[in-house]
A and B are shown apart, each in its own frame.
Chain A
Amino acid sequence: MKNNIKNNIKVLRKEHKLSQEELAMAVKTTRQTITSIEVGKYAASLPLAYKIAKYFGKTIEEVFDFSEMEDI
Protein backbone atom coordinates (compact mmCIF):
# COMPACT_ATOMS: atom_id res chain seq x y z
CA MET A 1 0.00 0.00 0.00
CA LYS A 2 2.37 2.73 -1.20
CA ASN A 3 1.32 6.34 -1.01
CA ASN A 4 2.44 9.05 -3.40
CA ILE A 5 3.99 11.30 -0.77
CA LYS A 6 7.77 11.07 -0.96
CA ASN A 7 9.95 12.33 1.84
CA ASN A 8 13.57 12.86 2.72
CA ILE A 9 13.41 11.81 6.34
CA LYS A 10 16.11 9.19 5.81
CA VAL A 11 18.52 11.79 4.35
CA LEU A 12 17.79 14.26 7.15
CA ARG A 13 18.18 11.51 9.72
CA LYS A 14 21.61 10.57 8.33
CA GLU A 15 22.66 14.24 8.31
CA HIS A 16 21.71 14.53 11.97
CA LYS A 17 23.25 11.11 12.73
CA LEU A 18 20.02 9.82 14.20
CA SER A 19 18.67 6.30 14.33
CA GLN A 20 15.02 5.58 13.58
CA GLU A 21 14.49 4.77 17.24
CA GLU A 22 15.94 8.12 18.36
CA LEU A 23 13.81 10.07 15.90
CA ALA A 24 10.76 8.06 16.92
CA MET A 25 11.33 8.87 20.59
CA ALA A 26 11.86 12.55 19.77
CA VAL A 27 8.57 12.87 17.91
CA LYS A 28 6.73 10.51 20.29
CA THR A 29 5.98 7.71 17.89
CA THR A 30 7.26 4.18 17.31
CA ARG A 31 10.24 3.05 15.23
CA GLN A 32 7.87 1.02 13.05
CA THR A 33 5.95 4.18 12.14
CA ILE A 34 9.14 5.99 11.13
CA THR A 35 10.19 2.98 9.02
CA SER A 36 6.80 2.87 7.29
CA ILE A 37 6.87 6.62 6.58
CA GLU A 38 10.44 6.44 5.22
CA VAL A 39 9.66 3.66 2.76
CA GLY A 40 6.35 5.27 1.79
CA LYS A 41 4.07 2.55 3.14
CA TYR A 42 2.32 4.92 5.51
CA ALA A 43 1.40 8.60 5.10
CA ALA A 44 2.07 10.56 8.27
CA SER A 45 -0.76 12.60 9.73
CA LEU A 46 -0.48 16.39 9.63
CA PRO A 47 0.49 16.67 13.33
CA LEU A 48 3.20 14.01 12.99
CA ALA A 49 4.49 15.54 9.74
CA TYR A 50 4.67 18.89 11.52
CA LYS A 51 6.52 17.35 14.50
CA ILE A 52 9.08 15.68 12.21
CA ALA A 53 9.62 18.85 10.16
CA LYS A 54 9.91 20.97 13.31
CA TYR A 55 12.41 18.55 14.80
CA PHE A 56 14.70 18.98 11.77
CA GLY A 57 14.07 22.75 11.72
CA LYS A 58 12.35 22.63 8.33
CA THR A 59 8.90 23.22 6.90
CA ILE A 60 6.58 20.32 6.05
CA GLU A 61 7.11 20.95 2.32
CA GLU A 62 10.87 20.70 2.75
CA VAL A 63 10.55 17.26 4.33
CA PHE A 64 7.58 15.87 2.41
CA ASP A 65 7.21 16.05 -1.36
CA PHE A 66 3.59 16.38 -2.41
CA SER A 67 4.28 16.98 -6.11
CA GLU A 68 3.37 13.42 -7.13
CA MET A 69 0.18 13.35 -5.14
CA GLU A 70 -2.81 12.62 -7.36
CA ASP A 71 -5.30 15.43 -7.89
CA ILE A 72 -8.90 14.56 -7.15
Chain B
Amino acid sequence: MEEYKKVLKKREKLCLIFAIILLPVVIATCYLFFVMDSVLTGSIIAGFFGGMLNGIRAGFGLAALIVLSMRAFQYHKAVKDDNKMKKYYIEEYDERTIALNQLSSKISFNIILYTLLVVCVITGFINSTISLTLLAVSAFIILCKAIIYTIYSKKI
Protein backbone atom coordinates (compact mmCIF):
# COMPACT_ATOMS: atom_id res chain seq x y z
CA MET B 1 0.00 0.00 0.00
CA GLU B 2 2.96 2.35 0.62
CA GLU B 3 3.94 2.01 -3.04
CA TYR B 4 0.41 2.90 -4.08
CA LYS B 5 0.50 5.93 -1.78
CA LYS B 6 3.58 7.15 -3.66
CA VAL B 7 1.81 6.56 -6.98
CA LEU B 8 -1.20 8.60 -5.82
CA LYS B 9 1.05 11.44 -4.63
CA LYS B 10 2.79 11.45 -8.02
CA ARG B 11 -0.56 11.53 -9.81
CA GLU B 12 -1.76 14.39 -7.62
CA LYS B 13 1.35 16.40 -8.53
CA LEU B 14 0.95 15.62 -12.25
CA CYS B 15 -2.71 16.65 -12.21
CA LEU B 16 -1.82 19.94 -10.52
CA ILE B 17 1.03 20.63 -12.97
CA PHE B 18 -1.24 19.99 -15.98
CA ALA B 19 -3.99 22.10 -14.43
CA ILE B 20 -1.56 25.01 -13.89
CA ILE B 21 -0.31 24.69 -17.49
CA LEU B 22 -3.87 24.53 -18.79
CA LEU B 23 -5.16 27.51 -16.79
CA PRO B 24 -3.71 30.32 -19.00
CA VAL B 25 -4.78 28.41 -22.14
CA VAL B 26 -8.35 28.18 -20.83
CA ILE B 27 -8.37 31.84 -19.84
CA ALA B 28 -7.09 32.78 -23.31
CA THR B 29 -9.70 30.65 -25.11
CA CYS B 30 -12.49 31.97 -22.89
CA TYR B 31 -11.30 35.51 -23.60
CA LEU B 32 -11.36 34.73 -27.34
CA PHE B 33 -14.83 33.22 -27.03
CA PHE B 34 -16.44 35.99 -25.01
CA VAL B 35 -14.53 39.15 -25.95
CA MET B 36 -12.66 38.75 -29.22
CA ASP B 37 -15.34 36.73 -30.99
CA SER B 38 -17.26 39.76 -32.26
CA VAL B 39 -14.06 41.56 -33.33
CA LEU B 40 -12.65 38.65 -35.36
CA THR B 41 -15.77 37.84 -37.35
CA GLY B 42 -16.27 39.20 -40.84
CA SER B 43 -19.43 37.45 -41.97
CA ILE B 44 -22.26 35.56 -40.28
CA ILE B 45 -21.00 32.13 -41.45
CA ALA B 46 -17.37 32.84 -40.52
CA GLY B 47 -18.58 34.24 -37.22
CA PHE B 48 -20.70 31.17 -36.53
CA PHE B 49 -17.90 28.67 -37.25
CA GLY B 50 -15.27 30.80 -35.54
CA GLY B 51 -17.45 31.11 -32.48
CA MET B 52 -18.25 27.41 -32.53
CA LEU B 53 -14.55 26.46 -32.70
CA ASN B 54 -13.67 28.86 -29.90
CA GLY B 55 -16.59 27.52 -27.87
CA ILE B 56 -15.42 23.92 -28.38
CA ARG B 57 -11.87 24.88 -27.39
CA ALA B 58 -13.02 26.80 -24.32
CA GLY B 59 -15.45 24.02 -23.34
CA PHE B 60 -12.91 21.22 -23.64
CA GLY B 61 -10.26 23.28 -21.87
CA LEU B 62 -12.60 24.14 -19.02
CA ALA B 63 -13.80 20.52 -18.73
CA ALA B 64 -10.20 19.25 -18.65
CA LEU B 65 -9.32 21.82 -15.99
CA ILE B 66 -12.27 20.79 -13.81
CA VAL B 67 -11.50 17.05 -14.22
CA LEU B 68 -7.81 17.57 -13.40
CA SER B 69 -8.61 19.65 -10.31
CA MET B 70 -11.18 17.10 -9.11
CA ARG B 71 -8.73 14.24 -9.65
CA ALA B 72 -6.01 16.08 -7.73
CA PHE B 73 -8.46 16.69 -4.86
CA GLN B 74 -9.56 13.01 -4.90
CA TYR B 75 -5.96 11.77 -4.76
CA HIS B 76 -5.14 14.26 -2.01
CA LYS B 77 -8.05 12.96 0.09
CA ALA B 78 -7.21 9.31 -0.65
CA VAL B 79 -3.60 9.72 0.47
CA LYS B 80 -4.82 10.94 3.87
CA ASP B 81 -7.57 8.33 4.29
CA ASP B 82 -6.38 4.68 4.34
CA ASN B 83 -9.86 3.23 3.74
CA LYS B 84 -10.40 5.41 0.68
CA MET B 85 -6.95 4.53 -0.62
CA LYS B 86 -7.67 0.81 -0.20
CA LYS B 87 -10.96 1.29 -2.08
CA TYR B 88 -9.18 3.05 -4.97
CA TYR B 89 -6.48 0.37 -5.01
CA ILE B 90 -9.04 -2.44 -5.20
CA GLU B 91 -11.04 -0.67 -7.92
CA GLU B 92 -7.94 0.02 -9.97
CA TYR B 93 -6.33 -3.41 -9.72
CA ASP B 94 -9.51 -5.49 -9.81
CA GLU B 95 -8.84 -8.29 -12.27
CA ARG B 96 -12.36 -8.25 -13.75
CA THR B 97 -12.08 -4.51 -14.50
CA ILE B 98 -8.67 -5.11 -16.10
CA ALA B 99 -10.10 -8.02 -18.13
CA LEU B 100 -13.06 -5.86 -19.23
CA ASN B 101 -10.73 -3.06 -20.30
CA GLN B 102 -8.53 -5.46 -22.25
CA LEU B 103 -11.51 -7.10 -23.95
CA SER B 104 -13.17 -3.81 -24.88
CA SER B 105 -9.85 -2.43 -26.17
CA LYS B 106 -9.29 -5.54 -28.28
CA ILE B 107 -12.76 -5.42 -29.81
CA SER B 108 -12.60 -1.63 -30.37
CA PHE B 109 -9.20 -2.04 -32.05
CA ASN B 110 -10.55 -4.65 -34.46
CA ILE B 111 -13.67 -2.58 -35.25
CA ILE B 112 -11.58 0.56 -35.91
CA LEU B 113 -9.06 -1.31 -38.08
CA TYR B 114 -11.63 -3.17 -40.20
CA THR B 115 -13.77 -0.01 -40.61
CA LEU B 116 -10.69 1.92 -41.73
CA LEU B 117 -9.83 -0.78 -44.28
CA VAL B 118 -13.39 -0.95 -45.65
CA VAL B 119 -13.66 2.87 -45.88
CA CYS B 120 -10.20 2.91 -47.49
CA VAL B 121 -11.41 0.57 -50.26
CA ILE B 122 -14.66 2.52 -50.75
CA THR B 123 -12.96 5.94 -50.90
CA GLY B 124 -10.48 4.49 -53.41
CA PHE B 125 -13.24 4.83 -56.02
CA ILE B 126 -13.94 8.44 -55.08
CA ASN B 127 -10.77 10.14 -53.89
CA SER B 128 -7.35 8.52 -54.03
CA THR B 129 -5.76 11.00 -51.56
CA ILE B 130 -8.23 10.12 -48.79
CA SER B 131 -7.88 6.42 -49.60
CA LEU B 132 -4.08 6.56 -49.43
CA THR B 133 -4.22 8.52 -46.16
CA LEU B 134 -6.54 5.91 -44.63
CA LEU B 135 -4.27 3.15 -45.92
CA ALA B 136 -1.27 4.83 -44.29
CA VAL B 137 -3.19 5.15 -40.99
CA SER B 138 -4.21 1.46 -41.16
CA ALA B 139 -0.63 0.42 -41.94
CA PHE B 140 0.63 2.48 -38.98
CA ILE B 141 -1.91 0.87 -36.63
CA ILE B 142 -0.94 -2.63 -37.82
CA LEU B 143 2.76 -1.78 -37.48
CA CYS B 144 2.21 -0.49 -33.92
CA LYS B 145 0.38 -3.67 -32.98
CA ALA B 146 3.10 -5.86 -34.51
CA ILE B 147 5.86 -3.99 -32.63
CA ILE B 148 4.02 -4.05 -29.28
CA TYR B 149 3.17 -7.74 -29.77
CA THR B 150 6.84 -8.56 -30.44
CA ILE B 151 8.00 -6.59 -27.40
CA TYR B 152 5.49 -8.29 -25.08
CA SER B 153 6.08 -11.76 -26.53
CA LYS B 154 9.67 -11.42 -25.33
CA LYS B 155 8.60 -10.10 -21.93
CA ILE B 156 5.91 -12.65 -21.10
Contacts and interface: CB of A to CB of B under 8 A. Distances in A.
Interface of A: 24-25, 28-30, 32-33, 36, 42, 44-45, 48
Interface in B62-89: 89
Nearest to B87: A25
A30 B94 contact: yes
Contacts of B96: 29-30, 32-33, 36, 42
Contacts of A24: 90
Which secondary structure characterizes the binding site on chain B?
A: helix
A10 B114 CA distance: 42
Contacts of B89: 28
A45 B99 CA distance: 10
B2 interface: no
Interface of B: 89-91, 93-97, 99
A45 B95 contact: yes
A32 B94 CA distance: 10
Nearest to A25: B90
A49 B34 CA distance: 58
Contacts of B99: 42
Contacts of A30: 90-91, 94, 96-97
Nearest to A45: B95
Contacts of A48: 95
A34 to B, nearest CB: 9
A44 B90 CA distance: 15
Nearest to A32: B96
A10 B97 CA distance: 21
Nearest to A24: B90
A27 to B, nearest CB: 10
Nearest to A36: B96
A20 B37 CA distance: 56
A25 B90 CA distance: 8
Contacts of B91: 30
A27 B150 CA distance: 34
Contacts of A44: 95
